Amino acid sequence: MSLLPRLRPAVERLRAYNPPKEGRAGLRLDFNENTIGCPPRVLEVLREITGEDLARYPEYAQGEDAIAQAFGHTPATMTLTNGVDDAILLAVQCFVDSGDEMIIVEPTFTIYRFYGELTGAHLMPVRWREREITSRVRRFELDSSALRAALTPQTRLVIIASPNNPTGHLTPPADLLDWVRAAPQTAFLVDEAYADFVAPGYRGLLDAVRTLPNLLVARTFSKSYGLAGLRLGSLFAHPELMPVLRKAHSPYNVNTLAIRCALAALREQAWLEDYRRQMRASREHIQSVLAVAGIAYWQSEANFVLFEAGERADSILTGLRRQGILIRDRRGDYPGALRITCGTQEQTERALAALLEFWT
């Protein structure tokens, strides 16, 4: 007999989410992190933090207002979150009861399924449709017929990442808006964690939330801003929906350091744009080298590229690790698939040279 108190059935059935957290020494091209660190001004802010700053509970108003303005919003349509994970959890908690239908489009970020299962949702997974561009170049896209079949009046929440992780593809904003408008009683969360890498000035669906009450959009400071360790994101929604989201949100979910550092990072726009430019150039270079080498890959608009290593996957992962280079095993999503994060030109060249060494 178990000595534990009674657990919710959904928790008893839950499959643990266990990403590798320790021992990631070397060139980290496995978690889509910023490969050069945070903007310099962030480190200056950290050095200025006092003991008194840490002794007080976080004060949000001024920082939240400035962060919202940087995205073209106000706190009436934006709230800060503890990374995008917290935004996802908030959306699930607000819209999904045990037994409610929730749609995710896979393969995708595993945390969507995790939070759905934790809530006890009836998950309705839909698969991306794979399209062949050439014999070695592929692309994933939304399967409209499959989504239409899964979407019912009982569907409470749909979560779609764009660009999607681990596939890297972007679903056109116009296509997503068609679905949001077609199902006004269903909430749609669009995770735009990788939107910074699509193209200069790309806005995604940030502006659409003002007119669509069933649309939520998540952004993060973990990727191009280099603040993954501080866990800061933002959730955008209609001005009538935002008070409801805030009501259900933990009151001190974001820490003082995260807010201070985000404000410093936002003042480094030239640095940020240069880093994003480097990542886009790296992405194109990776895809070009893979194509020349005859390695099949999926077109990406994020800061990583998914490619098919087939039977070579184990030897590539092991060989690169021995050289201090980490890439991600995604064979659980697609047979033989590995994912490489875009780095600087030097980092990318080093990783590709080693990859080709183990490919031949």
Q: Model confidence over 20-61: pLDDT tens digits?
A: 666 777 999 999 999 999 999 999 999 999 999 999 999 988
- 192-216 CB burial, b ≥16 within 10 A, e <16: bbbbbbbeeeeebbbebbbebebbb
| pLDDT level of residue 80 (50, 70, 90 thresholds) | very high
Last residue of a domain, one of 212, 245, 266: 266
Burial class (CB in 10 A: 0-12, 13-18, 19+), 40: exposed
Query: Do 293 and 167 share a structural domain?
Result: no
Mean pLDDT of 148-161: 97
Average pLDDT of every residue of the chain: 96
Q: Model confidence over 224-251: pLDDT tens digits?
A: 999 999 999 999 999 999 999 999 999 8
Check pLDDT > 70 for residue 119. yes
Token pair 């969507």 is found at 112
Q: Model confidence over 89-106: pLDDT tens digits?
A: 999 999 999 999 999 999
Whether 125 contacts 146, CB under 8 Å: no
Structural domain containing residue 306:
9-37+269-359
pTM of the predicted model as reported, rounded to 2 decimal places:
0.96
Last residue of a domain, one of 232, 266, 300: 266
Q: Tell me, yes or no, whether 240 lies in a domain.
A: yes
Tell me the percentage of the chain whose pLDDT exceeds 90: 91
Which of 323, 283, 285, 287 lies closest to 304, judged by CA?
283
Q: Structural domain tally of the chain?
A: 2
